[in-house]
Amino acid sequence: MSIVGNVNNENMQTCIDACMKCLQACEECLTLCLQEADVKSRVSCIEMLRDCIDICNLAIHYMSRGSKYAKEVCKTCADICDACAKDCEMFQDEHCKKCAEICRMCADECRKMNMAMV
């Protein structure tokens, strides 16, 4: 028996999934950035990746529990995901490009969710 959907958050599932994908992409990108030869030039981006990971995780939790503050968290998540994408786009590595793309998709879903919540 599945417990998913018990708090009437089914309409948030697309955004929850986007946040999960973004969190994973950022974790992977961060790990790979730490292995790059120019890691010192990536400090700001690495810090941004950490912020993005944290806000995506928070958004997942707030939406999953149907929190009345999920709307605000989703707005903040969209802003941070956009900023993270911008930082990742400064690097030419495939993992950075892919992460930026996924961050942008997450930001779009979070904006949609923010607009849809009452």
Taking only the tens place, the pLDDT of each residue in 76-100 is 999 999 999 999 999 999 999 999 9
> Where does 1-118 have alpha helices with state H?
13-33, 43-64, 70-88, 94-116
Position 17 confidence tier, pLDDT thresholds 50, 70, 90:
very high
CB 107 within 8 A of CB 55: no
**Residue 3 forms part of a structural domain:** no
**Total domain count, the chain:** 1
How confident is the model at residue 1, as a pLDDT?
Answer: 37
Q: What global pTM score does this model have? A: 0.91
More confident residue, 83 or 3: 83
Give the domain CATH number at 91: 1.20.1270.360
Report yes or no on 24 lying in a domain. yes
**Is 5 among the domain residues?**
no
By residue range, what is the domain housing residue 107? Answer: 11-116
Region 45-57: mean pLDDT is 98
Residue 2 has pLDDT above 70, yes or no: no
**What pLDDT score does 116 carry?**
87
Confidence of residue 54 (pLDDT cuts 50, 70, 90): very high
